[in-house]
Structure 1
Amino acid sequence: MRHPIAIIGAGPGDPELLTVKAHKLLVDADVILHDNLVSDTILDLNTTGERIYVGRKFGDASDQKDRQDRINELLYAHYLKGQKVVRLKSGDPYIYGRAAEEARFLIEKNAEFNVVPGISAAIAAANICNIPITERNHSNAMLICTAHTADYSFEQLNGIAHMLKAGNTISIYMGLKSLHRIIPKLLEVCKDESIPVNAISKVSRDQQTLVTGNLGNIEEKVLATNLQMPVVFIIGATPIQPKNN
């Protein structure tokens, strides 16, 4: 008997933010192929299955295609053995989780699979830190970007910046090491240093840190705080703060 492969979103790190379905599949898994950013507290929910690390850390120079090919073959090999296989990704599988490559491979192999959504870092950070990424009469859209924003063409960057000008929000993933390139480009187009910026490190974990500022000072504040990866940036919205007693 063969079991469908479960491609699971582990969310930002807190095991209590897993879906009920993800929790059940993870606990019952025989084999777990997991990424670098999946928290130990989530991995430890399964006490009997084999763990196979297939992640990639910042600065890893290994060939991404070779690494993905290895992951695909491992998924298929364990599937053929009749094992309950979980592919565990941080955040959501289809938001920078490369689930598309694995799904297409498995379809080619006629291997059954299911994708289980997870809470992506920007959504988790917005809720935990009370950052209204959409709000009536203020913002009706949010754009999700990666650090590659720094390499976009002017036309693309111009469109992103105009979302900020219109009062909408942007979330940037994997941008900590590229902040010195992203912020100047946004300022060049927006010409407004007062646009709020929030940097959230290790979302939902015990070490979570929030740094708030604006386009004019966020680089300095982030450097002073020595934020640790992973960090997600939410630009264009201000956290709702409790009233002073």
Structure 2
Amino acid sequence: MRNVMPRYVLKIEYHGAGFAGWQRQKEHPSVQGTIEAALAKLEPGDHKIAAAGRTDAGVHGLAQVAHCDLVKDWDAFRLSEALNFHLRGQSVAIVDCAQVADDFHARFSALERRYLYRLISRRAPLTHDRGLAWHIKHKLDANAMQVGADRLLGRHDFTTFRSSICQAESPIKTLDQLRVEELRLPHGTEYRFHVRARSFLHNQVRSFVGTLERVGVGAWTPDEVSRALKARDRAACGPVSPPGGLYLAGVTYPEDPFA
């Protein structure tokens, strides 16, 4: 049966600090629960929204995508404005909204997810970027990290870079991009890790970054990244980087629902 309720897709931006992650929880604030509560202010009742991906506690969203079904036939702009009114004071904003066909699904229709990880190297503590990047004091070799990153590209068994509580059915994934970008700052250097794949394992990106940081500082060689991958053993992974530097940066669909 086709859905008789209008379906809307939301592009969502959020600061992950203060949330126990995306997924709704009974006893802790979540991004999903916060948006569902705002929807209930517009149309009383139980609301359940589905997202392109679940982010962990402390992880941020630049362009998370979720869909919801409503009773009223809303103008998309007015819906986003009304939601943002009821989200005021929260670290969540609806940056775009559109009505979509009822067979659109934020998760299952997605072709690709893109993540960004920010790491800042400088002696002084972070102020404006505190909680928004991983802060280290030592310098890193971006070229060495890129060589190590290239060893992870393609289709592999990523058990080494998978959380022990990951619920994915298979550890086999295809990594399409892991690009290291180096940006000079007035008082340090920012390293940005651009990661792209159809889907990811739990903690996969943070495991990549923590391992590559070891390469950048010279504690690991790129060959050791290859050996860690082939080990298919979580114990072979480098340290997992903190959640505050990670952002869900975008989701790709066969057709851009916001175009």
TM-score by length of 1: 0.30
Q: Which has the higher contact order (CA 8 A, sep 6+)?
A: 2
Give the number of the structure whose residues are more often helix, by fraction: 1
Give the number of the structure whose residues are more often strand, by fraction: 2
